[in-house]
Structure 1
Amino acid sequence: MSGHGDPIPMTSVACGPLRGTAEVPGDKSISHRALILGALCVGETTIAGLLEGQDVLDTAAAMRAFGADVTDQGGGRWSLRGVGVGGFAEPEGVIDCGNSGTGVRLIMGVMATQPVTATFTGDASLNGRPMARVTDPLALFGCQAVGRTGGRLPMTLVGARAPVPVRYVVPVPSAQVKSAVLFAGLNAPGQTVVIEREATRDHTERMLEGFGAEISVRETDEGREITLTGQPELRAQHIEVPRDPSSAAFPVCAALIVPGSDVLVPGIGLNPTRAGLFTTLREMGADLVYENERIEGGEPVADLRARFSPDLRGIDVPPARAASMIDEYPVLSVVAAFATGQTVMRGVRELRVKESDRIDAMAKGLRANGIDVDEGEDWWAVKGVGHGNVAGGGLCESRLDHRIAMSFLILGMASNAPVRVDDGGPIATSFPIFEPLMAGLGAKLSRS
């Protein structure tokens, strides 16, 4: 079942060359954070290019529930009149975050140091995911959490009335955990310090600084140390959201495996903590070029041109790169099926606790389409068969996971037999224009 309605079975069949310009939506990570930080300002923040997928819309609704004035101006333009740091009102109803693990964890962080109580829930997928990774460090501030067995939603948080700053070493690489702790530190006196042994996406640090928070980053023997001074007055401003590299991954990867393809994906954010997939694809021999490289809103941006690449080769992806491409491993494993030789992906334990167990979901789906896959607790390996040799013909479970659904639909675009997905409904959570965008390039997708 889709988390937002009845299941939508979909089928993808082999198509002719994909050609044209793929205008992918705004970056989801930045969209979430822009709404949250805008709600913590005094004055009006405006946002252009906001991703209007269901995940982000759920975060917008949550900010309204906590007292911010959030207005959809149309065309991806939104405005917020915030309540200031520490100014959240107690919501009247339950906060429904749908399918968004990022949304719920970041919002929990913000409210953890405010004197309000709120109950959070989500769809079946989100309610099955662990929240202790966030609620444990939030408890150090004085926040209390009561949820289902295993630290799962629905869950009620009682914000700290007299929060204290913390020093926290993130046990496993996670931008969500790091960001939740930093957001909690906004309304705690003194300095909150977060140490991560491996760098993760740094949108939170960049945006906090841009909104006027006092934040510093330095390398230490323990790792990357981020220090935030609490109780700042954040500055309302205008935010231009760059296009999402995680969404760009799908038309880019499709172009690499469909013969004759030439696709331009403009204005993609290339923050170095997010661009690991594109580095990996080039190492595999992909014809992928950065054009018109520039800086927009403090973030590196470029237009990506991807062309059919018949001589892709399998590689060992460095484990240290995992944090910069954690959401892109499913579609990378699809490209790996069309490469010659084995592609090994290690250090990816985080994929076991995303929207679904993504290692298990991709392994089973690839096997159903004739591809051999080996897997372990924190790794998996795809044995590529080369262009023209992927059998296809399988039915794949999306497991309420948007990236799993899209990855298998990309697989079908170059397989010898159609690939079916049991439910494409979750795609709307992050990439609501996926179907028309891919069809406009020449893909053959159908709902059945």
Structure 2
Amino acid sequence: MNAPQPLSLRAEGPLSGTVTVPGDKSISHRALMFGALAVGETVVDGLLEGEDVLSTAAALRAMGAEIVREDAGAGGEAGRWRIWGVGVGGLLQPATALDMGNSGTSTRLLMGLIASHPITATFTGDASLSSRPMARVTVPLGLMGASFTTAPGGRLPLTMTGRCPAVPLRYVLPVASAQVKSAVLLAGLNAPGRTTVVEPEATRDHSERMLRAFGAEVRVEDAPEGRAITVTGEAELRPQVIVVPGDISSAAFPIVAALIVPGSRVTIGGVGVNPTRDGLLRVLAMMGADVTLGQQREVGGEPVADITIAAGALTGIEVPPEIAASMIDEFPVLFVAAAFAQGTTVMRGLSELRVKESDRIAVMAAGLTACGVRVEELPDGLIVHGNGGDMVAGGATVAARLDHRIAMSFAVLGLRARAAVTVDDARPVATSFPGFVDLMTVLGAVQSPV
């Protein structure tokens, strides 16, 4: 077991510069999976090479897909990935358990793929992933004919056996979740007839966009219960060339860092600004943030822009609960931004945060309190009393609880703390943003010895 890697950042002056962030994690997972189900060669540029996405690649290789990374160029840019797929319905029985590491996305989406194949697979993961509930996925996939044996509480390790042919269904999501929606749609690709998922609120739509690009028949329409997405099964996917935009969930950290460090001005190039993912930008605009989008264009069917952020005053607001689904992963760092706002920021409708890599509401509340920020924990959210832009006290060592977004959020908080804020273990950052510390250093942050 590797030793913990503590992390503490500080700002000795304004942050400045133009940078790019790693490829979008959600799109990277899906590019690998859909490429593995296509017949022929799919090429992916800009793939996020974090541990979560590499877990997906390893699992797909174990089930018959050939996935190869070409060497990066001399400039160190991301390598090009080539995937030779097995076709819808062509996944093979893996010889060993599939180790998902820390990746909930890999686990839930791959369960969807396997659900309509006549194979058995066992999923394992680290301590954080093994604490996360899987019933939200096993229930609808069970209705399609898959069977499951799980650890107590419906958790990993989990063994599933798919069914072929699977039973198509119409499933209304109890809670808006892009992972559950995508898992059911992926199962539906190899089920006869039409499989429909109805979501009460729109969630990230990368699966729908990319499935269409690969040639699947996908229909999206309004339904009495919300937004209905239908995929026609026994699909034949065509290989594609995919360019993965920068991940807005990763960009969130330098965005908030630039907002809270006086005098800062930062540009982040080539970030995906899909309207089902841009909630953070909309909320920050409501708070008065100086955030502008330049060079707006479309790359591989996804809207992309260069985001420029200038430091300035923020005002506390009540965040509309309906916006939560479009920024659920960005709330931890929004809690940090709210700590420096004038007045109180109220955030509700965030029950999903309690079942992420950690209970992100409880862990953020505890860490913020330890650093001198006044907060009130709600069953489904957090109230943060801002300090009007002053520095926070800091001086705490915060437990990241094996959660990459918690670790990065408190590293950003430390940029505006009187005394050092130390994250107890930054190793989980590699799951989604392996170059986080290097990027922050390029912008002017300083890593303190711990």
| Superposition TM-score, scaled by structure 1 size | 0.98
Match of 2:237 in 1: 234
Taking the aligned partners of 1:382 and 1:32, their CA distance within structure 2 comes to: 33
Query: Aligned partners of 1:345 and 1:204: how far apart in 2?
Result: 28
SS in 2 for 1:193: strand
Q: Choose from 254, 264, 269 the match for 1:266.
A: 269
Q: Deviations over 1:188-228 (max 9, x none)?
A: 00000110111100000001111000010001222101111
Partner of 2:379: 377
Deviations 1:14-57 (A, max 9, x none): 33111101210000000000000000001000000000000001
- Determine if contact 1:70/1:80 at 8 Å carries over to the other structure: yes
Deviations 1:82-139 (A, max 9, x none): 0000000100111001101011100010001100000001111001100011011000
Distance 2:449 2:97 in 1: 33
Unaligned runs of 5+ in 2: 73-78
Runs of 4+ in 1 over 4 A off after TM superposition: none
Q: Distance in 1 between matches of 2:258 and 2:274?
A: 22
Distance 1:413 1:58 in 2: 32
Hey, what does 2:75 align to over in structure 1?
none
Partner Cα separation in structure 1 for residue 69 and residue 249 of structure 2:
24
Match of 1:196 in 2: 199
Which stretch has the larger CA shift, 289-298 or 400-409? Answer: 289-298
- Is 1:84 matched with 2:84? no
Q: Distance in 2 between matches of 1:445 and 1:219?
A: 49
Equivalent residue number for residue 51 of structure 2:
54
Q: C-alpha displacement at 1:161, in angstroms?
A: 3.0
Superposed displacement of residue 382, structure 1: 0.5
Map of 1:206-225 to 2, 5 A cutoff?
206-225=209-228
Deviations 1:229-271 (A, max 9, x none): 0011100010000110000001111000011111000111010
| Secondary structure of 1:365's aligned partner | helix
Between stretches 318-327 and 375-384, larger displacement belongs to: 375-384
Matched with 1:300 is 303
Matches within 5 A, 1:42-441: 42-75=39-72, 76-309=79-312, 311-441=313-443
Shift of 1:412: 0.4
**Is 2:29 the counterpart of 1:32?**
yes
C-alpha deviations, 1:133-166, integer Å up to 9, x for none? 1011000110001010000000001111331101
Name the residue aligned to 2:76.
none
Q: Is the 8 A contact 1:288 1:306 kept in 2?
A: yes
Stretches of structure 1 that go unaligned for 5 or more consecutive residues are none
* Native 8 Å contact 2:213 2:240 kept in 1: no
SS for the counterpart of 1:138 is: helix
Equivalent residues of 1:15, 1:414 under 8 A apart:
no
**SS in structure 2 of the partner of residue 340 of structure 1:** coil
Aligned pairs, number: 444
Which of 11, 14, 22 aligns to 2:11? It is 14
Letter in 2 for 1:337: A
Instruction: Specify the code of the residue in structure 2 equivalent to 1:104.
Output: T
Q: Is the 8 A contact 2:11 2:444 kept in 1?
A: no
Q: Deviations over 1:264-308 (max 9, x none)?
A: 001110100000001111111111111111111111111000011
CA RMSD of aligned residues (A): 0.9
The aligned amino acid for 2:401 is R
Alpha-carbon offset, residue 444 of structure 1: 1.3
CA drift of 1:384 comes to 0.4
Q: Secondary structure at the match of 2:187?
A: helix
| Paired amino acid for 2:215 | G
SS of the residue 1:104 aligns to: helix
Letter in 2 for 1:116: I
SS in 1 for 2:83: strand
Per-residue CA deviation, residues 350-387 of structure 1 (Å, 9 max, x unaligned), is: 00000000000100000000011111211111100121
Q: For residues 271 and 416 of structure 2, what CA distance do their matches in structure 1 show? A: 25
Pairwise CA distance, 1:58: 0.6
How far is the alpha carbon of 1:13 from its aligned partner? 2.4
C-alpha distance in 2 between matches for 1:6 and 1:185:
43
* Identity %, equivalent residues: 60
The AA in structure 2 aligned to 1:40 is L
Structure 2 contact 41–239 (Cα < 8 Å) conserved: yes
Other structure's SS at 1:207 match? helix
Q: Give the superposition deviation at 1:447.
A: 5.4
On the 8 A contact 2:391/2:416 being kept in 1, the answer is: no
Amino acid at match of 2:216: A
CA distance in 2, matches of 1:295, 1:28: 18
SS at 2:394 equivalent: coil
Between the aligned partners of 2:202 and 2:12, the Cα distance in structure 1 is 39
